[in-house]
Amino acid sequence: CKQRSLHGPSPVTTFGPKACMLQNPHAVMHIQDPASQRLTWNKPPKSVLVIKKIQDASLLQPFKELCVFLTEKSIIVYVERKVLADPAIQADESFAAIIQKFCTFREDLDDISNRVDFIICLGGDGTLLYASSLFQKSVPPVMAFHLGSLGFLTPFNFDTYQSQVTQIIEGNAAIILRSRLRVVKESREKKARVDEKGIIMTNGDSEGSRKVLNEVVVDRGPSSYLSNVDLFLDGHLITTVQGDGVIVSTPTGSTAYAVAAGASMIHPNVPAIMITPICPHSLSFRPIVVPAGVELKIMLSRDSRNTAWVSFDGRKRQEICHGDNITITTSCFPIPSICFRDPVNDWFESLTQCLHWNVRKKQNYLCSKEDVF
């Protein structure tokens, strides 16, 4: 029996080795008032992963200041090895003593999921997406500073980072649980195998699956023909997409590619999966929202003239051929994103400041009835 709740089947409420969500005794079926979601610590945090946008000179000074501050607080700092390869960091002799205290890792090679208590992102929204890609299961709380171009997902200003980071270490902050999608791409060359006893051998969760924070995009790629893909929901064919492609997104991703393609903007606390066609060749094909936890499957239609292409949060782009399929459902492992104020106010602040939502010149007040004409 499939259990459904705020973030799909049986969501986790612990994030990394030490963080968890403060339980609300009045919550019903895991669904809490967004304003009541608070971060707490089972034990004081001792390690942090600092993610810095690569090849951005404007982030060097904030990165150094933050690392010095964290080291002085006896916090173990993890950074990617390629971050320290920056010549500007290597050439700074005054920073060399701090570098010696760092713990380093390499993407796709080193597992740090049980060694990091929380994450600090320096950059734009892409740094939060990248942080998501590093953790395929439980994700530590993420504190994102707005040092990039858009900053829709990065609510913190770096000017007061010391007091803000201290507040997070003390466990006094609101969090928003951003649901992710669990995506499995099965190729025709890697179908399930049958062993000598007739037992079906399939790839496990660690092979072939990935977690997506914003969206999965299937498009026609370089072909001049329309994409022609079949969309299944819980095993039933619901429609065939004919157009430039289709976007399957989380509520967090609703304000990314999906909204540009005509979808509604959905608050991240809404348990849902969005299906948005890209330039459909049908006047009646409107974006739809389905419950979190359903299983979607995308396959090339049998009579499709061309292959399709898929990307995951804008990365790992690859071709889909006949016989391949993409399976998508809500992951049990959301991203606990730390709020500046609270989940509702932060979201509307981002809509206003980053997307200029409903910004227009106001009408003048009418002083008397004579002013009507």
List the catalytic residues: 125
Q: What does each C-alpha distance from 242 to 224, 279, 281, 308 come to in angstroms?
A: 13, 9, 6, 12
Query: CA–CA separation, 105 vs 264, rounded Å?
Result: 39
CB 58 within 8 A of CB 85: no
Residue in 265, 275, 272 with CA at minimum distance from that of residue 348: 265
Measured distance between the N- and C-terminal CA atoms of the chain, rounded to whole angstroms: 65
And the tokens for 285?
Answer: 């094909």
Query: Would you tell me the crossing angle of helices 60-72 and 161-169 to the nearest 10 degrees?
Result: 40
Residue 369 sits at φ, ψ, to 5 deg, of -65, -25
* Sign of the torsion formed by the C-alpha atoms of 345, 351, 354 and 358: negative
Residue type present at position 286: R
Distance (Å, whole) CA 16 – CA 141:
8
- 245 phi/psi in degrees, rounded to 5: 155, -165
CA distances to 100, 341, 356, 362 from 348, rounded to whole Å, are 42, 11, 10, 19
CA distance 12 to 19: 11
Location of structure tokens 């500007």: 88
* Phi, psi for 87 (deg, rounded to 5): -55, -35
Question: In 73-210, where does DSSP find H-type helix?
Answer: 81-84, 87-90, 96-99, 125-134, 161-169
Q: How many Cβ atoms are within 10 Å of 76's Cβ, its own excluded?
A: 17
Q: How many helices (H) and strands (E) does the chain have?
A: 8, 24
Separation between Cα atoms, residue 209 and residue 199, nearest integer Å: 22
**259, containing H or E segment:** helix 257-260
